[in-house]
Structure 1
C-alpha cells in the first residue's frame, strides 16, 4: 500500500493537468478538422479543409511573419539589454539596489496599464516620445498609426516590460559565479571583453538558456498588447497568431479555422522549444 501513497498525493495535480492542459489541446486538434460556428449543436467534419484554407490565405502568412519578426526582435533585444544591465547593476551599494527595484517595477505593473500608458506616450500629436524627438532635432513618428513602425513599437513596449525580470535573473546568475575565477583573470590581466566572452557568458549559459526559452514562448503568445493597442492594425501589420486565433474564433465564429491556426501555433512553439533543447543545450556549461 505504501508504494501507492506518492501517486495518491500527485493525483490532484495530474487530474488538473489532464483536464486543463491536455484535454483542451486534444479538443482543439479535433475542432481543427470540423466546421463549427460556436452556436450550432452539430459539428461538420471537413478533414484538412481548414488547414488548406489557412495555408492558401495570404493574411495568415502575414500574421505568421509578424509573429516571427516580433519574437526574434523581442527575445534578442530583451536578453541582450538585460545582460548588459545585469553586469552594470551587479554591484554593492544602495543606489544599485534601488535601480534593481526600479528596473523590475514595470514587470509587476498590469499589462493593461502599461499598454494605455504607452499609447499615450506614442500619440502622434501629443505624445511624450515625439516631444523628446523634437528636443533632439529628430522628425516625429506615427508609432502605432504607421504600418512601418507599429510592429516595432509593440516590440519596444514588450522589451520595456520584461527587461527587469530578465535583469534580476541574470544578476542572480552572476552572483553565483565563483569570485576566484575573476580574481585569477585579474591576476592574468585579462581584458574585460575576454572576461565577458570566456568567463561571464559561458558561466551564465544555464541562465541564458532558461531566459531564451521563457522569452521565446511568451513572445509567441503575445495577445494583450495587440488587443489593447492596435487590434492587429494598421492594415494587419501588428496581427499576431494568438490574436488571429481570437479574431476568427470569437469575432468571425469560424471555430474550426481558428483551431487550425491554434494547432499551427502549438507546433511552432513546440518546434522552437525542441530546437533550443536540441542545439542550444549543448552549449550550456553546468557548474
Structure 2
C-alpha cells in the first residue's frame, strides 16, 4: 500500500511541478525515481496518464480524471496525518489572533497570555482593532468577535455569553426620567454605536415578545468605549457590555435601566476560515478561552 501511495504521490507531484526535473528539485527525490514511479503507476492502471515531450508535459484525458481524484485523496490523507499529529503533539508555532480593541485590552489579553504561559512553544500575534478583518486575505488564524455570526464562509464557536444593558448617568435619568419600557426611548436622547449589528434599532422584550425600537440622539460612535464615555458625560442612554460598564455602576457614575426587558444579545465568538483541518494550536487556544470564560464569565 505504501508503494502504491508513493506512485500516486509522484504522479501528482510531477504534474503540480510542471515536470520531472522540477518535482525532483522541490521534493528532494531523483528524477529517475519519479519517472519510474509514474511509469509503474501507468503500467498498473494499464493506461497512459501523461504525454511527455522534451518541452512540455500534459495529462491525457484519463490522466486528468485520475489527477482530480488522486490529488483530493492525498490532501485528505495529509490532513488526517496532521490531525493525529496535532492531537498528540504539544501545541507550537505562531497563532495570529484578531479581536476588538476594548475587549482585547480589558478582558481578552489576560486569557490569551494565560494560554501562552501554559504552552511555552506557542507565540501569539494579537491584533486589536475595531473592524471585521478578512481572515483569509490577512492570514488570521482565528478572530474573536462580539456578534451573531451568519457568514457561511466561516466556522464559528461560541466562547461566552456577553450581557448588554441600557446605561445612563444619574444626571440624565434625573433630567429625562427613568424609562419603564423600551418604547419610551424613542423620545429620549440615545447614543448610537454603529458597531452594534442593530445600530439604532434597539431590541426589548415587551409582553413576552421581542420588539425593535428606533432610537436617535446627539452622538453616533463606532466604539463601545466611546459610547460609554458619552453616557458618562450625560449625553444619552447607551447599550453597553456589562464588562465595560460594571466599574461605573459600582462607583455610581452609571445606572442601568430596563434590565428585565433586555433580550439575549450577541456573544463572544471565535471564527475561523472553513477548513477540513483546524490546526491543533488554534484548537488548543479556543478550548482554553472557552474554559477561561466558563470560570471567569463575561458578566
Shorter-chain TM range is: under 0.3
Query: Which structure: larger Rg?
Result: 2
Length-normalised TM-score, structure 1: 0.27
